[in-house]
Amino acid sequence: MDALTISVLLLWAAVLALGLMLWALSRQVGVLFERVAPMGALVTDSGPAVGSASPVLALTGLQSEPVAIGGVQAQSTLVFFLAPTCPVCKKLIPVLKALARDEAKALRVVLASDGEGDHLQFVREQGLQHLPYVLSAELGMGYRVSRLPYAVLLDRQGLVSAKGLVNSREQLDSLLNAQDMGTPTIQQYLGEPAQHAH
């Protein structure tokens, strides 16, 4: 009888110890989630600063369509720099197509490149005929684009709202979120919670 009582007490002690460990682990997971912020687009210091005016260019697209960059526009403009040989760019094309479709009233997506390759074939293969696609070294130099894929988001006044290297859907979304929140980057927003508390 004494052995049975001792074993039951030991089992209860083990259950309580496991419960305590589970509680401690759940607290650590919560702390970890608070510390790990969503990764926004990698912002670079080159090119027009966030909040400044974009270069104003009147370009012609691959399909002979006029494409105006900068200045006052009816919609915000997302200029996405890509290349037919860039595998990460290709991975983001379905996201860009969905974005152009879902945000058509508020956002214009413009694809831009100045690299080599058969761009018309690339447009056909990827089903990008409905998006403006420009080849312009001047545009890339205006934004100081040195790596791909790179995106610049302009507001309706032609000011740079957000910009950066984008390697995932989350990083692309972070540019739109930064514009919605009126902050240059998601990282800056998360680093200044006191200023954004309502």
Query: Of 172, 171, 170, 174, whose CA–CA distance to 183 is shortest?
Result: 174
| pTM attached to this predicted model | 0.72
Q: How confident is the model over 48-101, as pLDDT tens digits?
A: 898 999 999 999 999 899 999 999 999 999 999 999 999 999 999 999 999 999
Q: How confident is the model over 165-177, as pLDDT tens digits?
A: 999 988 888 888 8
Instruction: Please state, in angstroms and rounded to a whole number, the distance separating the CA atoms of residues 91 and 86.
Output: 9
Percent of the chain's residues with pLDDT above 70:
83
Strands (E), 18-142: 57-60, 66-69, 76-81, 107-113, 133-135
pLDDT for residue 196 is more than 50: no
Q: How confident is the model over 18-59, as pLDDT tens digits?
A: 999 999 898 887 766 555 444 455 566 678 898 999 999 999
Q: Model confidence at 160, in pLDDT bands (50, 70, 90)?
A: very high
